[in-house]
């Protein structure tokens, strides 16, 4: 590994936010999966969760999601298991949902340990996700379209989280666990 | 047209921001074009500009960009013509560009008349665009990927513009010109 690449990986690791994550619930278009994970990497999300509604989606979508070596993808076959695991980690669970009880996404405190649930391209988040989540959030829209593209919605919320965490001095603190750190440094030298 | 639909169109028109626009320079993947225009509609951009590098891209991309009936698409065959037209309208021209002289996108005052130039998926913005623009802007990234998806970058910048304009009380003022207003109301009744 060149010294430059080593430095680059160290810097990336120092900015990782292990207590901020995304759960993709049935998102399955490869370009959306790839764009979600790419944005996660860019703002420092170290691991995401993916719920696959069937084997076919997992097969095609898993590759797109996993093409990003630098973000770990945890896979599930149902939503309940995914959210149960996330809650075990002490995170507030926010579901992006175009409902009346949803609050504006900017009202949330993202400096708390947070997981954001993204719904499927066509049908949105499931009833199970909506029941298990602590809060519905919505990105305001004033046009004629009914919703945003899912990777766009993910980015708008994550960059608000990035803004708040940057202001709170949460970047550059190297809070990622030592195992992940060692693994990333090792894999970065053996791509 | 039902009274509900009529109301919906009136509300959309009241929120339109004619002095905020996007110029897609060679963006050509249909899903990206569609996602850019969809986000534009959602935050109140009434017209976008598209520079097509060749006829083939225009043929496939034009449909994706135009599928959104509610946002006007102005087409060009070269960047110079597009930016010249935009400058005639008195807009500050910002180019999203991963350069050293780029400023953080949040430092910009988006309450001014503003055009945001988006670069091509693979090669980014052209030299002509970079020369003609008033300012380079960048969205900060702390991961390993080199860049964001173009429709994601568009959304992150536009939602910052929306935040600033909302705070400044610029929504709900019906500043769109009477011609566009009449046309949209007419077309909304004859889809
Ligand atoms: C295309 S939308 C799904 C639309 C679906 N018909 C519904 O009503 O939920 C796909 C996903 O993008 C996200 N999304 C899109 N627009 C959003 C908005 N304005 N606010 C919050 N999330 C949004 C949500 O995660 C949603 O499940
Ligand atoms: C995939 S990028 C192009 C990358 C290209 N290799 C370059 O260096 O410009 C496509 C477009 O997305 C936008 N973009 C992506 N990431 C960005 C960022 N971090 N800041 C500003 N714009 C970005 C720009 O419009 C860019 O031209």
Sheet holding B135-138, edge to edge: B72-76, B47-51, B20-25, B114-118, B92-96, B135-138, B103-104
**CB spacing of B156 vs A156 below 8 angstroms:** yes
Nearest to B154 by CA among B180, B125, B181: B125
Cα(B91) to centroid(ligand 1), Å: 32
Segment B79-136, tens digit of pLDDT: 999 999 999 999 999 999 999 999 999 999 999 999 999 999 999 999 999 999 999 9
Query: Does the structure show a pLDDT above 90 at B52?
Result: yes
Segment B166-188, tens digit of pLDDT: 999 999 999 999 999 999 998 88
Q: Is B180 exposed, middle or buried (0-12, 13-18, 19+ CB in 10 A)?
A: middle
The residue in chain B having the minimum alpha-carbon distance to the alpha carbon of residue A40 is B143
Nearest to A69 by CA among B143, B121, B150, B142: B143
Minimal CA separation from B146 to chain A, in Å: 8
Ligand 2 in contact with B98 (CB < 6 A)? yes
Taking one residue from A and the other from B, the number of pairs with CB-CB distance under 8 angstroms is: 111
Residue from A48, A98, A115, A161 whose mutation best tests the ligand 1 pocket (most atoms within 8 A of CB): A98
Query: What residue ranges define each of the domains in chain A, with the CATH number in brackets?
Result: 3-182 (3.40.1280.10)
Find the mean pLDDT for residues A63-91.
Answer: 90
**CB spacing of B143 vs A106 below 8 angstroms:** no
Q: Where are the extended beta strands (E) located within chain B?
A: 20-25, 47-51, 72-76, 92-96, 103-104, 114-118, 135-138
Q: Where are the extended beta strands (E) located within B83-170?
A: 92-96, 103-104, 114-118, 135-138
Minimal CA separation from A21 to chain B, in Å: 14
**CB spacing of A144 vs B9 below 8 angstroms:** yes
The interface pTM score, or ipTM, of the predicted complex is 0.97
Q: What percent of chain B lies above the pLDDT cut of 90?
A: 85
Residue A188: predicted pLDDT = 80
Query: Does the structure show a pLDDT above 60 at A141?
Result: yes
Ligand 1 in contact with A138 (CB < 6 A)? yes
Nearest CA to ligand 1 atom 4: A124
**CB spacing of B41 vs A15 below 8 angstroms:** no
Backbone torsions φ then ψ of B95, nearest 5 degrees:
-110, 125
pLDDT band at B63, cuts 50/70/90?
confident
Radius of gyration of chain B (CA): 16
Angle between helices A30-43 and B150-167 (to 10 degrees): 60
Cα(B97) to centroid(ligand 2), Å: 6
Query: Does the structure show a pLDDT above 80 at A64?
Result: no
């Amino acid at each position: 590994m060149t010294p430059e690449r080593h430095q680059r990986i160290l810097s990336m690791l120092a900015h990782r936010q292990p207590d901020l994550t995304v759960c993709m619930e049935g998102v399955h278009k490869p370009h959306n999966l790839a764009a979600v994970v790419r944005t996660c990497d860019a703002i420092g999300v170290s691991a995401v969760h993916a719920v696959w509604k069937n084997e076919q989606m997992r097969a095609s979508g898993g590759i797109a999601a996993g093409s990003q070596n630098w973000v770990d993808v945890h896979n599930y076959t149902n939503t309940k298991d995914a959210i149960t695991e996330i809650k075990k980690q002490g995170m507030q669970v926010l579901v992006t949902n175009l409902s009346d009880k949803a609050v504006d996404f900017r009202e949330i405190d993202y400096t708390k340990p947070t997981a954001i649930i993204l719904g499927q391209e066509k049908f949105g988040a499931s009833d199970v996700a909506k029941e298990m989540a602590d809060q519905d959030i919505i990105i305001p829209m004033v046009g004629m379209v009914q919703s945003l593209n899912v990777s766009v919605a993910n980015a708008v919320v994550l960059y608000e989280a990035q803004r708040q965490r940057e202001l709170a001095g949460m970047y550059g603190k190297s809070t990622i666990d030592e195992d992940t750190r060692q693994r990333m440094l090792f894999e970065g030298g053996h791509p």
